[in-house]
Amino acid sequence: MLSPVLFWQLGLIGPRFVWPFEYISINRQTVMRLTKPTLMPFHPIISDARDVPYTLTQDQNEADIAKPKDLEYFGVSDLLTLPQNFGNIFLGETFSSYISVHNDSNQSCSDILLKADLQTSSQRLLLTGVNSQPVTHLKPNESIDDVIQHEVKELGTHILVCAVSYSTEAGEKMAFRKFFKFQVLKPLDVKTKFYNAESDDVYLEVQIQNITPGPVYMEHVRLDPSNLYKSEELNSLEKKQGPGNVFGKVDYLNPMDTRQYLYCLAPKPEMYQENKVLKGVTNIGKLDIVWKTNLGEKGRLQTSQLLRVAPGYGDIRVTVEKMPDSVPLEKTFDVTLRITNCCERDMELTMVLQNDLNSGLMWCGLSGQKLGTLPQNEHMDLSLNLITTVPGLQTISGLRLTDNFLKRTYEHDEIAQVFVYNDPES
């Protein structure tokens, strides 16, 4: 008496289309691979109406099933073609499979158990959706069907391992398994650049390149900041220009095209309470990228935590808290500077103001003033006065701070810039 034999079928499926079949029969175990469809190309033959072959070319165009309706010379048909090759699976896409275990014998079997694992170079994953409990009975020509899905999160070689175990009518334990191997490719090339502003803001430029063979629609590129920052997206249009982004209504990338996205990250207010923590912050956040291909398949990538090189402030940091953008010629103006002690000890400071005769700005006030003791990781605000002497874009320089404990002088030049203009009323 022949023992019953089971075979299983495997295929990739999509949300709307029926994919083509590719059969490989080995010992009555059948593997069914399914690939994604593409739009059928149409190659019109164009000829002038006065030429002799005009009638022949027109008849050939009319007989071509790929010809799109009401578009005689359009190169893409409205029909789908079923490719015979494997196709591409990219990182971030969803791996969907249809598995069928079929009793191809004339005998019944029992205790059928199906398991599916996805093996990568670093781990082995048990795919959900497969029947975890054994099927008690399976008659001839009956099948067990299931659908599994898994979001691909690793590049390189993947092996789908499907194993089936069952018992014959005579009580004999039988088992077999099948391996399916495929490669996961990289869809996007992501590069980042950081720009540290003097105001503690961080500007992030993200460059995204489409390295797939077809165009992709960028659904969103979002920055999820760390708990130390709040972010602002700088890729949207102003309200008066209408909703949308700066890339237009259809935000898509052609193959090998690159696009830049810009974000501004500002430290949260509570971070300023402890400058030591703010000075050493390198964790910015991570990017969340979602795109769709030309037939609507969705992909998603999340980068690892983005790290920047923390700026070095030295022992003393000087920042501008308040000052005007422009000042009339031969007029005085006030500037508020914040002095922050960034070292691990207290400092007793003395302020010296040095004027340069070749500069267009002159300090007004008492030089050599003692500022007192500034504890570590603390700051003080200074209100200083300057007078403009030369028109044009002028730079504020000449601030000297001396630590009386170590007799060390810190020079601060090119603190800020102000535009000096001629006042027409004077």
Looking up residue 234, the CATH number of its domain turns out to be: 2.60.40.1230
Residue 426 lies in a domain: no
Residue type, 22: E
CB of 198 within 8 A of CB of 192?
no
pLDDT exceeding 90 applies to what percent of the chain?
Answer: 20
Question: Are 133 and 208 contained in the same domain?
Answer: no
What is the dihedral angle through the alpha carbons of 292, 293, 298, 300, rounded to the nearest 10 degrees?
-70
Please name the helix (run of DSSP H) or strand (run of DSSP E) that holds residue 234, with its range, or none.
none
Question: Are 63 and 118 contained in the same domain?
Answer: no
Most confident of 28-42, 100-114, 391-405: 391-405
* pLDDT 10s digits, 105-140: 888 888 888 888 889 888 888 886 655 677 788 888
Question: Are 245 and 109 contained in the same domain?
Answer: no
Q: What is the CATH number of the domain that holds 131?
A: 2.60.40.10
pTM > 0.75: yes or no: no
Residue type, 14: G
**What is the DSSP pairing of strand 135-138 with strand 143-151?**
unpaired
Question: Are 14 and 157 contained in the same domain?
Answer: yes
Question: Are 21 and 138 contained in the same domain?
Answer: yes
CB of 322 within 8 A of CB of 382?
no
Question: Are 205 and 181 contained in the same domain?
Answer: no
Length of the chain, in residues: 426
CB of 121 within 8 A of CB of 156?
yes
The mean of the pLDDT values for the chain is 79
Indicate the residue among 81, 96, 112 that finishes a domain.
Answer: 81
Question: Are 230 and 165 contained in the same domain?
Answer: no
Indicate the residue among 158, 185, 212 that finishes a domain.
Answer: 185
- Cα gap 72→115, rounded to integer Å: 51
- Cα gap 354→343, rounded to integer Å: 25
The single residue listed with the structure tokens 């920052």 is 229
Residue 295 lies in a domain: yes
- Cα gap 64→250, rounded to integer Å: 32
Residue span of the structural domain in which 225 resides: 188-307
Question: 186 falls in which pLDDT band (50, 70, 90)?
Answer: very high
Question: Are 15 and 57 contained in the same domain?
Answer: no
Higher-pLDDT residue of 282, 324 = 324
Q: CB under 8 Å to 6, separation ≥6 — which residues?
A: 101, 102, 103, 104, 109, 112, 138, 164, 166, 174, 176
Running DSSP on this structure, what letter comes out for residue 238? P
209, two tokens: 């390149």
CB of 273 within 8 A of CB of 295?
no
Question: Are 77 and 97 contained in the same domain?
Answer: no
Residue 1 lies in a domain: no
pLDDT exceeding 70 applies to what percent of the chain?
Answer: 77
Q: Closest Cα partner for 144 from 183, 113, 175?
A: 113
Question: Are 24 and 161 contained in the same domain?
Answer: yes
Residue 326 lies in a domain: yes
CB of 367 within 8 A of CB of 351?
yes
HSE value, Cβ hemisphere, 13 Å, CA-based, for 332: 8
- Cα gap 252→158, rounded to integer Å: 29
E strands, 35-142, are: 38-41, 76-81, 89-90, 94-103, 109-119, 124-126, 135-138
* pLDDT 10s digits, 40-67: 776 776 666 666 566 666 767 776 767 7
Sign of the Cα torsion 229, 234, 238, 244 reads negative
**Which pLDDT does position 270 carry in this prediction?**
73
**Which pLDDT does position 191 carry in this prediction?**
93
The CA–CA distances, whole Å, from 204 to 232, 286, 344 equal 10, 11, 30
86, two tokens: 């494997």
The total number of structural domains in the chain stands at: 4
Question: Are 14 and 162 contained in the same domain?
Answer: yes
Phi first, then psi, for residue 255 (nearest 5°) are -55, 135
Higher-pLDDT residue of 126, 287 = 287
- What's the burial of 84, exposed, middle or buried (CB within 10 Å: 0-12/13-18/19+)? exposed
